[in-house]
Amino acid sequence: MKNRIPLVIAAAMIIVAILFVYLWISGIFPKGMTTTEKPSGNITPELNNTNTSLKNFPPEIRGEIQTLAGKYSLALNIWGFDPINNEINLYAYGIPNESAFSDLHGRQIGNYTVHIINYTEILNARDEVYNQLFQIQKKQEYQIAHISMMKDIFSDPKEYTVELWAYNSTPENKKLDNMVIKGWKIQVYPMSPIPSDTGSTSKSR
């Protein structure tokens, strides 16, 4: 009888160990921190969107913009690239304090100047932006058919958008897509195919 006691104890310990492993695998007992678990994609959404937000910026200045965005806790989507005016637009609503405003406004990043812009200035620049795009529309390589400027004052933050309807997608008008001019964001919408008689019709008149 005494010889059976150690066997019973050993069997009980094995059963308890098996039960514990089962509960641990099923998730009832916490597993603790492990190195194999992947971090959630929702932890740092700005980092996940870095390439999308900065894709229109020249590669040589993306690193400095990311550094400044991190230093002042600025979202990357409040930066806009305006190569027509050699500017980097930075929306004023995203600036957290006066110190950041003073340090960033007029700052040189590569060959471009940081221009912090507010809603009033965006509205006042409407005609200027339209005239700049109208000059671009005259160039055949952009294939721009129509320019439409819209403002959505009910969104938060407010959105100011220019829709460029193009006869067809070209390398030139692709570069305009998502560009920001004086606070107005450009959206290019290609319409294809290009009318085959456009050139001949104009020449025959």
- CATH number for the domain spanning 132: value is 3.30.70
Last residue of a domain, one of 96, 117, 138: 117
β-pairing, 87-91 vs 79-82, is antiparallel
pLDDT at 5: 62
Same structural domain, 77 and 128 = no
Is the domain of 69 the same as that of 13?
A: no
d(CA 170, CA 132): 19
Tell me what pLDDT residue 19 has: 62
Domains of the chain: total: 3
- Looking at residue 156, its pLDDT comes to 74
pLDDT at 53: 73
Q: What does the pLDDT read at residue 13?
A: 72
- In this prediction the pTM is 0.64
Q: Is 149 exposed, middle or buried (0-12, 13-18, 19+ CB in 10 A)?
A: middle
User: Is the residue at 101 inside a domain?
Assistant: yes
Splitting the chain (205 residues) into consecutive groups of 10 residues, what average pLDDT does each group show? 60 68 50 36 33 81 94 91 94 90 94 94 94 96 96 82 95 93 94 56 39
| Pair (20, 55) in one structural domain | no
Distance CA 72, CA 163 (A): 32
Asked if residue 168 lies in contact with residue 192, where contact means CB atoms within 8 angstroms, the answer is yes
Q: Which range marks the domain in which residue 130 is found? A: 118-195
Helix extents (H) in 54-157: 59-71, 98-104, 119-124, 126-137
Name 189's bridge partners.
165
Predicted local confidence at residue 56, as pLDDT: 86
151 shares its domain with 186: yes
pLDDT of 47 reads: 31
